[in-house]
Amino acid sequence: MGVIKIREGIYSVGVLNPGLRLFDVIMKTEYGTSYNAYLLTGEKNVLIETVHARYFDEYVENVQSIVDLSKIDYIVMNHNEPDHSGSLARLLDLAPNAQLLATPAGRIYLPLITNKPMPAMRAVQDGETLELGGGRTLRFIHAPFLHWPDTMFTYLESEKTVFTCDFLGAHFCEPTMSDLKLQYRSAYERALEEYFDAIFSPFKPYVLSGLSKLDALDAETVCTSHGPILHKNGFLEDVRRRYAKWSTREPRQQKDIPIFYCSAYGNTAALAARIAEGIKSVIKDAAVELYDLTVSDPCSLTGRMNAADAFLLGTPTINKDALLPVWQLVNSIDAISAKGRPVSVFGSYGWSGEGVPAVISRLKGLNMNVFEEGYRCRFVPSDAELQAAFEFGARFATALG
């Protein structure tokens, strides 16, 4: 995209990737992305982040069009994921006079990412400032788990501009780099929410903390690492409100206990219905919804599952395993916030019955609060086995307290 002047002495020197359709394996990127990096010029010249290694040449060309790399005084790494740090190893060879600044966690990660010694790297402390001359000061604000432990914000106080790394960003390839010039707002809003869901939803308490840190600043411009720059007279306040809403759990009057299941011949479905009745016999007002994974797309139920107070999974056993839709849902469990959440598994089987214990094992590996060892029966459940399923549901509900 070339260099874009944001204001005097502040330049966007990142690159566009309009063709990207999958990021980090975990999320689709319908609108491509940008790898944003910034250059501050003046008495001291500062680079804020690098770009994906594949775009090193374009990145360097952008920087060199403003200032020679030998005159870079500092390289600030707000976050060290490879889409931010991929060009760093080669950049350091071309900018021998630059001091590298990162958080203490970043100081650990960067040598492992670049496979280079880092004698010129320094860990900055939370709240530390750096005088750049000409009335300019950088303030470093640690913002861990947004979305790595190494993350920080960098605030250019005199220009009321904060560089927030991934926070408040979006995988959205906007050539103008400005929210003030967006032509496709609805598409951007969709990309913004998809980005939050994939990247930040496991870290909601840290998102709220990050918003509080921004509230303490008098920032008018937010320069993110993906997507357009946000302005106070543009979308900035709207984006902040959305992040706050998405990260705040609304108080519930009812226990939310969904049941997700697959059923080949209706036997596991019959167990699901009786387990639901057992739960309701103990917690009268519980919200116990049943979701047939052969009808509903497991991917569409991820948010429903991760927001629940507790949940159950039902699977038959076919060829010594649980069914694929169940595994798809299990693989979508938010492993960051799942620790300790009540859960269990049930199902009908015919031969050896490995499906339920296989899923149980995975849930234990996620440190979830697995109830008993699940419930299984063979082939078509008898009246006694359906009653046992009811009682299993009642015990599960009782254990919730």
Compute how many other C-beta atoms are within 10 angstroms of the C-beta atom of residue 78. 26
Could you tell me the residue ranges of all domains in the chain?
4-247, 259-400
Residue 22 has pLDDT above 90, yes or no: no
* Separation of alpha carbons 88 and 130, rounded Å: 21
**Which of these CATH numbers, 3.40.50.2300, 3.60.15.10, 3.30.1130.10, 3.40.190.100, describes 4-247?**
3.60.15.10
What would you measure as the largest C-alpha separation in the chain, in angstroms?
82
Residue type, 224: T
pLDDT digits (tens, 9 = 90+) for 337-376: 899 999 999 999 999 999 999 999 999 999 999 999 999 9
Would you state the CATH architecture of domain 259-400?
Answer: 3-Layer(aba) Sandwich (3.40)
pLDDT of residue 28: 86
pLDDT at 2: 87
Strand partners, 292: 261
pTM above 0.85?
Answer: yes
Q: Using an 8 Å Cβ cutoff, are 46 and 71 in contact?
A: no
DSSP element (H, E) containing 375: strand 375-378
Rounded to an integer, the average pLDDT of 313-320 is 97
Task: Note the pLDDT tens digit of each residue in 367-387.
Answer: 999 999 999 999 999 999 999
What's the mean pLDDT when you consider all of the chain?
A: 96
Cα separations in angstroms, 192 against 6, 27, 173, 239? 22, 12, 12, 8
pLDDT of residue 80: 94
Q: Which residue has the tokens 């900018």?
A: 95
Q: What is the reported pLDDT for 23? A: 83
d(CA 16, CA 36): 8
Cα–Cα distances (Å) from 348 to 62, 280, 284, 318, 344, in that order, read 62, 22, 27, 10, 14
Name residue 59's amino acid. Y
